[in-house]
Amino acid sequence: MADMIESTLQSMSMEQKLGQLFCIEVNSNTLNSAFEDTISKYHFGNVGLFNTFSGTRQQIRQNNLEIERVITKHCAGVKPIIAVDEEGGCSSQFQDGVTPTPGNFALGATENEDDAYACGWCIGSELCDLGINMAWAPVLDLCRNPHDPIVGARSFGDSPQLVARLGIALSKGLNAGGVGSTYKHYPGQGAISTSGDSHRELPVSRMQEHQLNSLDGYPFLEAIHQGADCLMVGNVVLSGIPNVEKGVPATLSRYTITTLLRERYGYDGVVITDNIGLGPTHDAFPPQKSALLAFQAGADIITALGSRSPHIVMYNALLSALKQKIISEDAVNDKVRRILRLKERLSAYQETRRPLSEIQKSLMLRKVARDSVTLVRDPRGLLPARPELFPHVLVIVPQMQAISSADGFAHVECNFGDIISPYYPAVTVQKIPLTPDESSVNECLELAGHHDLVMICSENSNEFPAYLDLVNRIAATGPTIVIPLRFAYEVTAVHPNATIVSAFSYMDASLRAVCNVICGEEQPQGRLPIHL
């Protein structure tokens, strides 16, 4: 393999080598003739599918085959990394073509490595069928900030050990399905001081280095010990470590990437940056500067999703720096070697993949759903809520919406009302916005007074005061079961009378598993993966 990599490296022009150091965005609207013009001129060697790549499975696969053809043609015969943010749960880029999986927080509730492997296997198998060879997953960030919208249910939980175990298991499942994995976002966002979206404002972590190693950084160290192929470095400023460059995010920090990851932890795989083409990092560091900083910091692949203009500016900045000997050809070659090694691994995963049938996928995901159902509390002993005790049931479901820029499921509906209806003689389903007006609230309160039991689904209700107030007013006056659809921090704000049971997922299999527990057909198996 080493001889083949050296032979490929020698066959590449310097411009083609520089192109390997970038990942550009492609979506349904940008795959056109201009795409090949861009690749032929700048030799960009890797792409990320983003902004919900629409179409049927066959259309998506044909698009990816075209991407591979164009890039291989103009990049010295080197195939591209075709990557996608497909983590499961709320973070999906496809309207069709990929089977929904419960997501990381649900997996955290199972505490089961086999379940994490199964989800990775399902995701990897379907991505491979679509012509995709890399998942930007799993997320190894700890869930330690109840107001952080960007991590939330994308995390396995708040335990470094649990997150490491499940993340590594999911990664191995992705490999079994035929794709590579990307552990992200080093050094972790568990201790960030902001409650905003880190894709829109630069998060700051004040942890010291010894805390980093035992908490947020621990899952990444375990992944490195397990031979991680690729790590994504996040746009997090480590303000609590004196040697880290002041105000510089990890994506551009030499101390973070070279001193910590490379030298101290011995990591020799590919380092890819989180998006530095848009948002707070782009605002603080113009493209010419950020490209050079990322290169000198030790990053191998620079990701700047959005407009291609930042990539072109960054590419030209590195080409100029190379001509001026600010950066060396040897340094470029070292990065390209790592990238070529990774691409060899991706080919090997495809060749040795373990295919999955639709029946196998269905059975595995149903098991994950059952294992994740968690009874958070049942103060009034409502469960099992048998039909003979509660013949008339009101079900309130929210109109689902994206909570952060990482979400990809705003088009998904919550089908809990349809799923629970066959279990009871009379079910009324009321769908309301997460920001209900006074009329909607009053209608729900009046309906609740005419039913024996109210089941109300919620989506991060602690971030939606009007919805939370409705939940609590109903729970204060009668038997109420609250079903969080993705996250658990909201339960601390829910009225103490309410029974809370959840599989932390909006997918139908998860909701059916919740129904089975509510009605007493199954026992809850999950545990909260965070400390409240």
| pLDDT tens, residue by residue, 124-144 | 999 999 999 999 999 999 998
Beta bridge partners of 84: 49, 135
- pLDDT at residue number 488: 87
- pLDDT at residue number 198: 54
Q: Is residue 42 part of a domain?
A: yes
Contact between residue 287 and residue 317 where contact means Cβ atoms under 8 Å apart: yes
Q: What is the pLDDT of residues 99-121, one digit of tens each?
A: 889 999 999 999 999 999 999 99
- pLDDT at residue number 450: 96
For residue 100, the tally of other CB atoms under 10 A from its CB is: 20
Q: How large is the average pLDDT for residues 370-390?
A: 97
161, 282: one domain: yes
204, 347: one domain: yes
Q: Is residue 527 part of a domain?
A: no
Please determine, for residue 512, whether its predicted confidence score (pLDDT) is greater than 50. Answer: yes
Q: What percent of the chain has pLDDT over 70?
A: 94
262, 388: one domain: no
> Which of 364, 370, 416, 381 has its CA nearest to residue 524?
370
State which residues form the domain around 90.
18-351
Q: What is the pLDDT of residues 144-173, one digit of tens each?
A: 887 776 788 899 999 999 999 999 999 999
Q: Is residue 394 part of a domain?
A: yes
Higher per-residue pLDDT: 414 or 113: 113
Please determine, for residue 98, whether its predicted confidence score (pLDDT) is greater than 50. Answer: yes
Q: What is the pLDDT of residues 270-288, one digit of tens each?
A: 999 999 977 777 778 989 9
From residue 198, how far is each of 89, 146, 205, 242, 311 by CA, in Å?
19, 14, 12, 22, 21
For residue 1, the tally of other CB atoms under 10 A from its CB is: 10
End of a domain among 351, 386, 405? 351
> CA angle, 346 as apex, 153 and 290 as ends, to 5°?
65
* d(C-alpha 515, C-alpha 418), whole Å: 11
230, 336: one domain: yes
Q: Is residue 356 part of a domain?
A: no
Q: Is residue 434 part of a domain?
A: yes
End of a domain among 296, 318, 351? 351
268, 213: one domain: yes
Three-state secondary structure call for residue 252: helix
- pLDDT at residue number 408: 61
Q: Is residue 530 part of a domain?
A: no
* d(C-alpha 480, C-alpha 172), whole Å: 41
Please determine, for residue 410, whether its predicted confidence score (pLDDT) is greater than 50. Answer: no
329, 203: one domain: yes
280, 145: one domain: yes
342, 377: one domain: no
Which of 75-89, 281-295, 301-315 is the least confident region? 301-315
Contacts by 253-257 with C-beta closer than 8 Å and gap 24+? 253/297, 254/296, 254/297, 254/298, 256/186, 256/187, 256/297, 257/233, 257/297, 257/298, 257/299
Contact between residue 420 and residue 403 where contact means Cβ atoms under 8 Å apart: no
Q: What is the pLDDT of residues 342-367, one digit of tens each?
A: 999 999 999 999 999 999 999 999 99
312, 398: one domain: no
* Residue with the two structure tokens 């970038």: 22
253, 122: one domain: yes
- pLDDT at residue number 152: 82
191, 49: one domain: yes
Strands 374-377, 499-502: pairing kind: antiparallel
End of a domain among 318, 351, 384? 351
**CB crowding 345-362: b at 16 or more within 10 Å, else e:** bbeebeeebeebeeeebe
- pLDDT at residue number 30: 65
* d(C-alpha 55, C-alpha 78), whole Å: 27
Number of domains in the chain: 2
For residue 379, the tally of other CB atoms under 10 A from its CB is: 11
The CATH number for 402's domain is 3.40.50.1700
278, 131: one domain: yes
The CATH number for 43's domain is 3.20.20.300
The values of phi and psi at residue 271, to 5°, are -110, 125
Contact between residue 448 and residue 416 where contact means Cβ atoms under 8 Å apart: no
Beta bridge partners of 271: 231
Q: Is residue 56 part of a domain?
A: yes
**CB crowding 460-483: b at 16 or more within 10 Å, else e:** bbbbbebbbebbbebbeeebbbbb
Beta bridge partners of 398: 432
Secondary element (H or E) of residue 369: helix 358-372
Three-state secondary structure call for residue 65: helix
- Give me the DSSP letters along 104-137: HHHHHHHT-HHHHHHHHHHHHHHHHHTT--EE--
Give just the sign of the alpha carbon dihedral 285, 287, 288, 290: positive
pTM, whole model, 2 decimals?
0.95
Three-state secondary structure call for residue 424: coil
Which of 34-48, 157-171, 207-221, 397-411 is the least confident region? 397-411
Q: Is residue 2 part of a domain?
A: no
